[in-house]
Amino acid sequence: MHQILIVEDEIKIAHSLQQVLEGEGYVVRIAMTGEEGFFLINTEIFDIVILDIMLPGRSGLEILEALRSHDNQTLVLILTARDALEDRISGLDSGADDYMVKPFAASELLARIRVLLRRGRSEPVFQLQFADLSLDLVVREAQRGGQPLDLTAKEFDLLAYLLRHQGRFITRSMIARDLWQETTRATPMDNVIDVHMARLRRKVDKDFPEKLIHTIRGIGFIMKREES
Ligand code: CA
C-alpha cells in the first residue's frame, strides 16, 4: 500500500486530490501548512509527496531544498501555477522528481504517480535506451543505430543524464549540480556545460537525420524525438 502525503493549503484542492488518490487505493495524509508537511516528511515514511509551491509561511520550494540538503530522497511532485515557469525550473533544480501545472486532470496526476512509483529515485539501472540510442552503464559504452559513439567520460555522463531525464527540461544548474557537483550558478560553469554539450551533440546527432538533443531557450536542454 503506497503512502502519499499532500501538502496543500487550499482545503478544497487537498480534499479532492485525497478522494481521487484514495479511490485508487493509496493511503493519503494531508498537511495544510509547509511546517506541518516538513514535520510529517521527517517523521514518517511516504512513497510520494505532492507538494504545492504556494504555501503560507514556508514555501514548497524551501521545504524541498531543506529535504534534499538533508539527503531525504522521498519522491516529490510539485504543484505550480499555470504561468509560474520559474517555479517549475527552480523546483526541478531543487530536486523535484516531477511537476504538475494547476489546474490539471486527475487522470494525468494518477498517470504521473504511477510513473514515479515505477521509476523511483535511485532504482539501479544498467541500460538506458532512447530512440536508436543505447547506453550500457556497466561497461560505459554508448551506441546510436548500432554504431559505437566515441565519448569522453564526461560526455558519457552527460548523455546518460539526458537519457534519464528524457522528455523533461534539464537546466544548466541541474547539470552543474548533478554532474559537476557545483551548486553556485556561476556563468563560467554554464560555458563549460555548453562546450561539453556542443561536443556531445556533434557526436550523437551530426550524422543522423533525427536530432535527439535540443536546446530550449531560456531553460536549458531536452532529450526528445523530433515531431514529424
Ligand atoms: Ca497553495
- How close is the Cα of 98 to the center of ligand 1, in Å? 17
Nearest to 96 by CA among 47, 51, 160, 59: 51
Task: Give the span between the Cα atoms of 147 and 127, in whole angstroms.
Answer: 16
Q: How many CA atoms lie within 13 A of 197 on its CB side?
A: 23
- How close is the Cα of 9 to the center of ligand 1, in Å? 5
The grid coordinates of residue 8 equal: 496543500
The grid coordinates of residue 42 equal: 521527517
CA distances from 94 to 39, 60, 75, 99 (A): 19, 10, 12, 12
- How close is the Cα of 86 to the center of ligand 1, in Å? 16
- How close is the Cα of 63 to the center of ligand 1, in Å? 14
Percent of the residues in the chain that have a pLDDT greater than 70, as a whole number: 94
CATH 3.40.50.2300 in the chain: give the residue spans: 3-119
- How close is the Cα of 102 to the center of ligand 1, in Å? 10
Task: Give the span between the Cα atoms of 188 and 15, in whole angstroms.
Answer: 46
Domain 127-223, classified CATH 1.25.50.10, yes or no: no
pLDDT tens-place string over residues 77-115:
999 887 777 888 888 878 888 888 888 888 889 988 998
Q: Please report where in the chains the cell 517523521 appears, as a residue.
A: 43
- How close is the Cα of 13 to the center of ligand 1, in Å? 9
- How close is the Cα of 10 to the center of ligand 1, in Å? 6
Please say whether the beta carbons of 63 and 74 come within 8 A: no
pTM of full prediction above 0.75: no
CATH 1.10.10.10 in the chain: give the residue spans: 127-223
**228 residues of the chain, pLDDT tens digit each:** 899 999 999 999 999 999 999 999 999 999 999 999 999 998 899 999 999 999 988 899 999 999 888 878 899 999 988 777 788 888 887 888 888 888 888 888 998 899 899 887 754 457 889 999 999 877 889 999 999 999 999 999 999 999 988 898 999 988 887 788 776 655 568 889 999 999 999 999 999 999 999 999 988 999 999 875
- How close is the Cα of 76 to the center of ligand 1, in Å? 16
- How close is the Cα of 53 to the center of ligand 1, in Å? 7
Say which CATH topology domain 3-119 has: Rossmann fold (3.40.50)
- How close is the Cα of 168 to the center of ligand 1, in Å? 24
CA distances from 168 to 29, 147, 173 (A): 28, 26, 14
